[in-house]
């Protein structure tokens, strides 16, 4: 097998986040389910935005955040996802490249839709509630997947979110085939409990056939297996023969390799400002460690460190060099 040009290539929605602080009442008044992601039409997005407070715009997108995290740790990452031919598309492309990630977004001039945005409401407890308008991100299709690029990465990382778009789903299937053909690994992030609920059977089949590494939080993994406790979920994970990482917010994370369960504490955070990107950055730290030959406990500790950085400020991209944190923490 040729040496990998990338540690990880991520495939996902290229999104610019629009984040505003709010209170619990706003979520209730607007029928939002705290901590989850809802897809919106352009009209719904406009109505929410009109009611939202002053915001900040920060590049986001789940897999893109993970790739930015890997690059910040010093790893080699590539991101595949589509933006529109507009200002937010320029901003997304600038930011992902500025972090050191190779960006493969095709030609935005061929896209008629606006760059995807995610309206994120952050409550005083730091929890984020997301409303995504996919726009240009929905245009991802099999033509965007370069099999050689996939074969050049140790791990291909895909978002569960992509299951909401039929073209993207086909693109992901092509990427899985390319990875398998090159004897590379495929990682899946479950993304959101509602995504899991909408596409449970397809995701279970995908995991069985193609996935080597599974990322999810408790809600997502319990929902996937319709399990009611940790033992039930682990029994099902054992059947799935995946390396699984389950994040548990302040309780840390559990990694299960088919035989052994490793629990890792959450890294300390002075104040949880905004949980957006916590799972994405955990995956970044984990995959950086994994593609650099660290043991599983070590991988999870790097993940916890990266997640702790990203929840200490607004936005889902690291504000400080994770490479420097890695050195500082002796990881």
Distance CA 153, CA 63 (A): 15
Size of the site for its own copies (CB under 8 A): 26
Q: Given candidates 7, 95, 139, 280, which one binds its own copies under the rule CB under 8 A?
A: 95
CA 22 to chain CA mean position, Å: 23
68 binds its own copies (CB under 8 A): yes
Parallel, antiparallel, or unpaired: how do β-strands 6-11 and 77-80 relate? parallel
Q: What angle do CA 177, 180, 183 make, to 5 degrees?
A: 155
Smallest gap from residue 187 Cβ to its own copies (A): 23
The minimum distance between CB 142 and its own copies, in angstroms, equals: 29
3-state helix, strand, coil split of the chain in percent (to 5) is 45, 20, 35
Does position 52 interact with its own copies (CB under 8 A)? The reply is: yes
Stretch that binds its own copies, among 86-94, 133-141, 212-220, 222-230 (CB under 8 A): 86-94
* Axis-axis angle for helices 166-181, 200-210 (nearest 10): 10
State yes or no: residue 99 binds its own copies (CB under 8 A). Answer: yes
Among 34, 39, 72, 23, smallest CA distance to 199 is for: 39
Among 28, 56, 205, 327, binds its own copies (CB under 8 A): 56
Please report whether residue 319 would count as binding its own copies according to CB under 8 A: yes
Question: Of the ranges 94-102, 189-197, 247-255, 283-291, which one interacts with its own copies (CB under 8 A)?
Answer: 94-102
When the beta carbons of 56 and 235 are compared against its own copies, the nearer one is 56
Is position 280 an interface residue for its own copies (rule: CB under 8 A)? no
Point out which span in 50-58, 229-237, 256-264, 322-330 binds its own copies (CB under 8 A).
50-58
Binding status of residue 98 toward its own copies by CB under 8 A? yes
Shortest CB 72 distance to its own copies, Å: 9
Residue 37 touches its own copies, criterion: CB under 8 A: no
Measured at the alpha carbon of residue 213, what is the angle toward residues 249 and 1, in degrees to the nearest 5?
A: 145
> Which helix or strand (DSSP H or E) is residue 19 part of?
strand 15-21
Opening angle at CA 93, ends 89 and 98, nearest 5: 145
Q: How far is the CB of 2 from its own copies (least distance, A)?
A: 31
Given the DSSP bridges, would you call strands 243-247 and 253-256 parallel, antiparallel or unpaired?
antiparallel
- C-alpha to C-alpha distance for 207 and 22, rounded to whole angstroms: 37
18/331 with CB nearer its own copies = 18
Give contact residues for its own copies (rule: CB under 8 A).
Answer: 18, 20-21, 49-50, 52-59, 68, 86-88, 91, 94-95, 98-99, 114, 315, 317, 319
């Amino acid at each position: 097998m040729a040496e990998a040009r990338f540690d990880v290539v991520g495939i996902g929605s290229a999104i610019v986040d629009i984040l505003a602080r709010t209170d619990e009442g706003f979520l209730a008044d607007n029928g939002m389910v705290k901590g989850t992601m809802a897809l919106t039409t352009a009209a719904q997005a406009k109505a929410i935005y009109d009611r939202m407070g002053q915001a900040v715009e920060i590049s986001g997108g789940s897999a893109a955040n993970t790739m930015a995290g890997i690059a910040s740790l010093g790893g080699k990452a590539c991101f595949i996802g589509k933006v529109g031919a507009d200002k937010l598309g320029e901003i997304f492309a600038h930011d992902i490249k500025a972090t050191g990630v190779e960006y493969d977004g095709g030609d935005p001039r061929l896209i008629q839709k606006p760059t995807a945005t995610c309206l994120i409401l952050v409550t005083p407890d730091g929890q984020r509630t997301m409303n995504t308008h996919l726009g240009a991100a929905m245009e991802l299709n099999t033509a965007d997947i370069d099999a050689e690029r996939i074969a050049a990465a140790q791990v291909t990382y895909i978002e569960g979110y992509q299951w909401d778009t039929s073209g993207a789903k086909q693109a992901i299937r092509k990427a899985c085939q390319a990875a398998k053909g090159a004897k590379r690994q495929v990682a899946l992030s479950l993304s959101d409990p509602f995504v899991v609920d909408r596409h449970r059977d397809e995701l279970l089949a995908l995991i069985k056939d193609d996935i080597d590494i599974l990322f999810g939080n408790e809600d997502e993994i319990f929902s996937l297996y319709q399990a009611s406790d940790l033992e039930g979920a682990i029994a099902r994970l054992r059947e799935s023969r995946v390396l699984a990482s389950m994040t548990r917010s302040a309780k840390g994370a559990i990694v299960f390799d088919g035989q052994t369960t490793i629990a890792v504490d959450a890294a300390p955070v002075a104040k949880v400002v905004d949980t957006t990107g916590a799972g994405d950055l955990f995956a970044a730290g984990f995959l950086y460690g994994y593609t650099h030959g660290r043991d599983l406990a070590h991988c999870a500790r790097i993940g916890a460190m990266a997640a702790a950085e990203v929840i200490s400020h607004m936005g889902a991209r690291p504000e400080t060099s994770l490479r420097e944190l890695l050195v500082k923490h002796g990881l």
